[in-house]
């Protein structure tokens, strides 16, 4: 696991394994027919690194549902373009700087890259890197930077704090509540004094939401045959904020239970990702957002990067004080990417999926 060792790094050439897309997958969960692992020789010698670039050894990689939308071969108005065939995949990664061609980074620095090649070694521009605190005595682990302090946490914070604007006593519903985004969204809403209910795919995860993440209640959507009846039971006073992460039948049911002036921040619709758009479930009661003056808003993190400093200041405090914590599903070795990616679409998965590369 982990490719070449330190001796080869010093020589300047390494064997680096990387994942690439060999064929688009318009529907279904991508398989080994679409995602493949290959080994390349990569020069990391001083003459091979351009100015204002760094050679990075990958330590951790985040495995996220949004990557699925880049593998269909169909442009559907999403904010990221399709992956190019036979090119290395890109994700969010944490790595160690091996060599640097600038004064900004030094050998040994631990960095996070929002646009990291899913490869054991890479040469990347300094502009894509940000140093993170790797002090082993800190209460923040490296995987935390890929979950509560990373893209999932920032997504949850924008949706709940910025767009949801919760007030104490608000009734908040989180779908996909045990996933990387949902687990943080629910905890943030609780910190704002809200009553929080989540839905998830197993009884084990229902227990997790209530016992570890402090949800007031939760239900297993695989056991509830009538979503309307379930929401009537859990929200007798209606829904003020719905953090939308699922789409389809669940969104339709929610629209029958929203209160006047409800907010619905939309970060994704995972139940629809593996279907062609012509086969996805429609929503028949959108007129409800007119009569109840509901604000339903999709959002992209790129539009809120000016708030990232506010997010980090608030969330680092929460994490260090133990007010927000993450659950990680850790896979080992870069070779586990395909298995870990498929797990995102399984109802048995819970927590933030990450890979420890070395």
pLDDT at residue 193 greater than cutoff 60: yes
Answer with the residue of higher pLDDT: 138 or 9: 138
Task: Provide CATH code, domain 13-147+328-356.
Answer: 3.90.180.10
**Could you tell me the pLDDT band of residue 24, with boundaries at 50, 70 and 90?**
very high
Q: Is 135 left (phi over 0), alpha (psi -120 to 50) or beta?
A: beta
> What is residue 139's predicted lDDT score, i.e. its pLDDT?
83
> What is residue 7's predicted lDDT score, i.e. its pLDDT?
43
Mean pLDDT across 157-175: 97
d(CA 92, CA 65): 12
**Could you tell me the pLDDT band of residue 277, with boundaries at 50, 70 and 90?**
low
pLDDT at residue 267 greater than cutoff 80: yes
pLDDT at residue 1 greater than cutoff 60: no
Ranges of each domain in the chain:
13-147+328-356, 151-303
**Could you tell me the pLDDT band of residue 78, with boundaries at 50, 70 and 90?**
low
Kindly give, in sequence order, each residue whose CB lies less than 8 Å from that of residue 280, ignoring residues fewer than 6 positions away.
247, 248, 272
pLDDT at residue 13 greater than cutoff 70: yes
Please tell me the least confidently modeled range out of 22-26, 137-141, 314-318. 137-141
Please tell me the least confidently modeled range out of 61-65, 196-200, 276-280. 276-280
> What is residue 270's predicted lDDT score, i.e. its pLDDT?
57
> What is residue 256's predicted lDDT score, i.e. its pLDDT?
97
List, for residues 279-330, the tens digit of each pLDDT value.
667 788 989 999 999 999 999 888 998 998 899 999 999 999 999 999 999 9
Please tell me the least confidently modeled range out of 65-74, 146-155, 259-268. 65-74
Mean pLDDT across 122-140: 88
Q: Output the CA angle 40-43-49, nearest 5 degrees.
A: 130
List, for residues 210-222, the tens digit of each pLDDT value.
999 999 999 999 9
Residues in the chain: 358
Please enumerate, as own/partner, the contacts of 10-14 that have beta carbons within 8 Å and a separation of 24 or more: 12/43, 12/44, 12/45, 12/46, 12/48, 13/41, 13/42, 13/43, 13/44, 13/45, 14/41, 14/42, 14/44, 14/120, 14/121
Please enumerate, as own/partner, the contacts of 307-310 that have beta carbons within 8 Å and a separation of 24 or more: 307/158, 307/162, 308/154
pLDDT at residue 8 greater than cutoff 80: no
List, for residues 234-258, the tens digit of each pLDDT value.
999 999 999 998 788 899 999 999 9
Residue 324 structure tokens:
């927000």
> What is residue 159's predicted lDDT score, i.e. its pLDDT?
97
Answer with the residue of higher pLDDT: 230 or 270: 230
Please tell me the least confidently modeled range out of 6-20, 308-322, 335-349. 6-20
Answer with the residue of higher pLDDT: 87 or 308: 87
CB count in 10 Å sphere of residue 108: 10
Chain-centroid distance of CA 315 in Å reads 16
Output the average pLDDT for the chain: 90
d(CA 263, CA 22): 40
Q: Is the dihedral of CA 119, 121, 123, 129 positive or negative?
A: positive
Number of alpha helices (DSSP H) and beta strands (DSSP E) in the chain: 9, 15
Q: What's the start-to-end Cα distance of the chain, in Å?
A: 6
Task: Provide CATH code, domain 151-303.
Answer: 3.40.50.720
Mean pLDDT across 102-124: 95
Q: Are 319 and 148 in contact (CB under 8 A)?
A: yes
Answer with the residue of higher pLDDT: 203 or 139: 203
Mean pLDDT across 267-290: 74
> What is residue 196's predicted lDDT score, i.e. its pLDDT?
98
Kindly give, in sequence order, each residue whose CB lies less than 8 Å from that of residue 216, ignoring residues fewer than 6 positions away.
190, 195, 196, 197, 210
In the numeric block, the tokens 């910025």 are attached to 162
């Amino acid at each position: 696991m982990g490719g070449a060792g330190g001796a080869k790094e010093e020589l300047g050439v390494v064997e680096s394994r990387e994942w690439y897309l060999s064929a688009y997958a318009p529907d279904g969960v991508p398989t080994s027919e679409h995602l493949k692992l290959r080994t390349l020789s990569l020069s990391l010698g001083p003459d091979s690194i351009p100015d204002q670039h760094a050679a990075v050894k990958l330590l951790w990689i985040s495995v996220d549902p949004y990557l699925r939308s880049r593998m269909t071969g169909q442009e559907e108005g999403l904010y990221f373009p399709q992956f190019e065939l036979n090119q290395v995949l890109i994700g969010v990664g944490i790595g160690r700087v091996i060599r640097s061609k600038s004064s900004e980074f030094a050998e040994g620095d631990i960095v996070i890259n929002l646009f990291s090649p899913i490869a054991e070694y890479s040469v990347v521009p300094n502009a894509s890197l940000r140093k993170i605190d790797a002090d082993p005595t800190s209460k923040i682990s490296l995987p935390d930077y890929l979950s509560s302090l990373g893209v999932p946490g920032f997504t949850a914070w924008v949706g709940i704090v910025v767009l949801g604007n919760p007030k104490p006593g608000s009734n908040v519903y989180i779908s996909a509540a045990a996933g990387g985004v949902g687990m943080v969204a629910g905890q943030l809403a609780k910190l704002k004094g809200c009553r929080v209910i989540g839905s998830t795919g197993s009884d084990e995860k229902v227990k997790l939401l209530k016992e570890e993440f402090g949800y007031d209640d939760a239900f297993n959507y695989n056991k509830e045959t009538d979503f309307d009846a379930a929401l009537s039971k859990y929200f007798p006073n209606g829904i003020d904020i719905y953090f939308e992460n699922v789409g389809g039948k669940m969104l339709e049911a929610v629209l029958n239970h929203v209160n006047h002036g409800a907010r619905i921040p939309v970060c994704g619709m995972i139940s629809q990702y593996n279907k062609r758009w012509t086969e996805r479930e429609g929503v028949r009661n959108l007129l409800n957002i007119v009569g109840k003056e509901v604000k339903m808003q999709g959002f992209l993190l790129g539009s809120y990067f000016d708030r990232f400093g506010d997010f980090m200041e608030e969330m680092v405090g929460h994490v260090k004080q133990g007010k927000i914590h993450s659950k990680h599903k850790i896979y080992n070795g870069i070779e586990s990417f395909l298995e870990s990616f498929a797990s995102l679409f399984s109802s048995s998965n819970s927590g933030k999926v990450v890979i420890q590369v070395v």
